[in-house]
A = this chain, B = another copy of it.
Amino acid sequence: MNAAGLKKGLKATGRRVTRTRQAVLGLLERTPQPLSATEIFEQLQKENVAIDLVTVYRTVHVLKELGLVAQIELHHEGQARYEIKEGREHHHHIQCQMCGAIVDLLLCPLKKITKLIESQTKFVVDDHTLEFTGLCPRCQ
């Protein structure tokens, strides 16, 4: 686990290194797909880590602030998901409408387009979301 990064980030912001923060970060690190708060809660329960769902929400919030975790909002899911940023490039996702499978897309085609949008709209672009839905090979 990236315990060093966690500890450093927490210390730097006057926060404490706790079992639950380590447990949530550890779970996200060993899970390849992005997890919702409820899924984090349920998985940790299975692993006999005592944690409240409220604490999961507060923990992912902190991990996001420290830049260790990214929050993902998939099309029509009605819940946020979280995944580790450490060692992974900025990327997007495709989700199967049938089975819900989520696959990473290892490209982001938007860098050039962002410049174009800035010149067209006079906005300063800060962020973007780009998510696809479709049918995975098994569900076609």
Cβ contacts under 8 Å, A113 to chain B: 109
Contacting residue for A124 out of B121, B126, B135, CB 8 A: B135
Query: Is A18 an interface residue when CB atoms closer than 8 A count as contact?
Result: no
**How many angstroms between the C-alpha atoms of A123 and B132 in the bound complex?**
10
* Category for how many chain A residues contact B: 35 or more
Query: Is A76 an interface residue when CB atoms closer than 8 A count as contact?
Result: yes
In this complex, what residue of B is CB-closest to A137? Answer: B122
Cβ contacts under 8 Å, A76 to chain B: 73
What are 14 residue pairs bridging A and B, where the CB atoms are less than 8 Å apart in the complex? Answer: A75-B127, A75-B129, A94-B121, A94-B123, A105-B117, A106-B120, A107-B116, A109-B109, A109-B110, A124-B135, A125-B133, A127-B134, A129-B129, A130-B130
